[in-house]
Amino acid sequence: MSTSESSRYVRLRVDLVLEVAEPEALTGAALDHVAADEFMPDEERGHAEAAVREDEAEALAYLVDPFDLVSGVPGVELAQASWSTEAVEYDPESLEWDLDEEDGPFDDDEHDDEGPGGLPHT
């Protein structure tokens, strides 16, 4: 199958590790973001505020929007997005965190039929 015959959809995978140097600033920004969301129901707002206060990863999840990553890219529309955050133990010297292995095999069998860039083998 040629590139022109392949799917118009591309899965972009991004893996970031962020250091929270100022937890109070992160929490405050997330609380401001939740408070400014005029479409969020009050019951959900209370839950969101509690989650943001308890967990820096939750605070970050309220501030990061995948749409923002691609909204300025010409010729593309975001079709679907999901993201998650979690606190992790980070050791930059560990092989587990070697992000240069992007050409290595995938961790799951779901993508065994894909070549570079997630495109099907031709």
Query: What are the pLDDT digits (tens) for 25-70?
Result: 999 999 999 999 999 999 999 999 999 999 999 999 999 998 999 9
The pTM of the full predicted model, rounded to 2 decimals, is 0.69
- pLDDT class for 95, splitting at 50, 70, 90? confident
The answer to whether residue 116 scores a pLDDT higher than 50 is: no
User: How buried is residue 8: exposed, middle or buried, by Cβ count under 10 Å (0-12/13-18/19+)?
Assistant: exposed
What residue ranges do the domains of the chain occupy?
A: 14-118
Computed over every residue of the chain, the mean pLDDT equals 83
